[in-house]
Structure 1
Amino acid sequence: MGRGVGKRTRQLLVFVHVAVSVGWMGAGAANVVLAMTAGYTASAEVRQVCYQMIDQVDGFVVIPIAFAALASGVLLCLVTPWGLARYWWVLVKLVLTVAVIGYSTFGLGTWVEDSIAASTRGVESPVAGQLAYGAGLNIAAFLFMTWLSVAKPWGKTPWAPASPRRGHRPVAPRLAAG
């Protein structure tokens, strides 16, 4: 594990990971705008269209690229020295990615369905605020993960394998005479 691919392949994997991650953030930003528009408009027709658009953006953009971001990130971890649990910044990004996918599925996804049902009946969604601000929370998580990728804070985790110090050769254990 660690150095399993060449420079060009690693660059391609980084490109794919960055592209799908930025796409995920962009689609999330579109959902924030749609949810805020639906939550603050007086027009029942606009609300209905906004909630249906969120559902479409989720189904055709957010879900596929969220899993592409997760898969490409894990693949990068497995073929580069960063590892999955060697550095805190990588581990936090992994946990946040899974958390955002779960939150989007079981929280935001449910609120989208509730909002579509309410708008079909011609009433305001009882979860309009939760949907709009929940989508904004995802953007905050995306921005934090982007910062983690740039800053790489906190050093190694306790699960990181010990690396030999430069200039020191490992000493072979001595067998006890007996």
Structure 2
Amino acid sequence: MKVKTRRLWLVLHIMSASAWIGIDVLVAVLVAAGMLGDSASRRGLAYQALGTFVWWPMLTSGLICLVTGVVLGLGTKWRLFRYRWVVVKIVLNVGLCTLILLALRPSMPVVTTYGEAVAAGMPASIGATSLFMPPIVSLTALTLATVLSVYKPWGRLVRRSSPGPGP
């Protein structure tokens, strides 16, 4: 891969990962606002925003991050399955995207409905503290992926075998 092309893909990769991290921070802020807001209408609005607008930008940035990471892996010396740190990053990304689809997305209509009930003045009926778990898990995994990108630990998955003596 040419240097200019690699740099473009790297910028896209960093931007999508940054967006993903920012969305996770937004989720944490909306959960905190929903739990600690000074009025029922603000708390309800935070939950409604969380339920309506969070999962699809998060999944989009995660998938862009995955695609750009795969392109970078295929086009650079790191490859996709040559180094442990690259494999761990791929597993983290696929795992988080799967969690978004299978765990986060299906619960968002419930969160939206809950926000509408809170805004209408109804008493809390679900444990909103469980909503802190997705941003904690995701931010931890994305921080690990960032550290792996910088430090590149662990070496190769499979060492090249040295050629033995000839026949």
TM-score (norm 1): 0.80
Write the mapping of 1:2-151 to structure 2, written as runs, cut at 5 A.
5-41=1-37, 43-54=39-50, 55-59=52-56, 61-122=57-118, 123-124=123-124, 126-151=126-151
Displacement over 6 Å in runs of 4+: none
* CA radius of gyration, larger in: 1
1:51–1:80 CA distance, 2 compared to 1 (3 A):
same
Q: Number of aligned pairs?
A: 162
Q: Can you give the 5+ residue segments of structure 2 that lack an aligned partner in the other structure?
A: none
Q: Deviations over 1:27-75 (max 9, x none)?
A: 111111111211233633223211222231333x322211110110011
Separation in structure 2 between the aligned mates of residue 152 and residue 78 of structure 1, nearest angstrom: 17
Q: Can you give the 5+ residue segments of structure 1 that lack an aligned partner in the other structure?
A: 165-169
Separation in structure 2 between the aligned mates of residue 172 and residue 131 of structure 1, nearest angstrom: 61
Answer whether contact 1:108 1:135 (CA < 8 A) is retained. no
Question: Quick one: which amino acid aligns to residue 82 of structure 2?
Answer: R
Find the residue that maps to 1:124 and give its secondary structure. coil
Answer whether contact 1:89 1:154 (CA < 8 A) is retained. yes
Separation in structure 2 between the aligned mates of residue 78 and residue 125 of structure 1, nearest angstrom: 49
Q: Deviations over 1:100-141 (max 9, x none)?
A: 111222222233322212222334252411112321221111
Computed over aligned residues only, the root mean square deviation of the Cα atoms, in angstroms, reads 2.1
1:105–1:125 CA distance, 2 compared to 1 (3 A):
farther
More helix by share: 2
Question: Quick one: which amino acid aligns to residue 83 of structure 1?
Answer: R
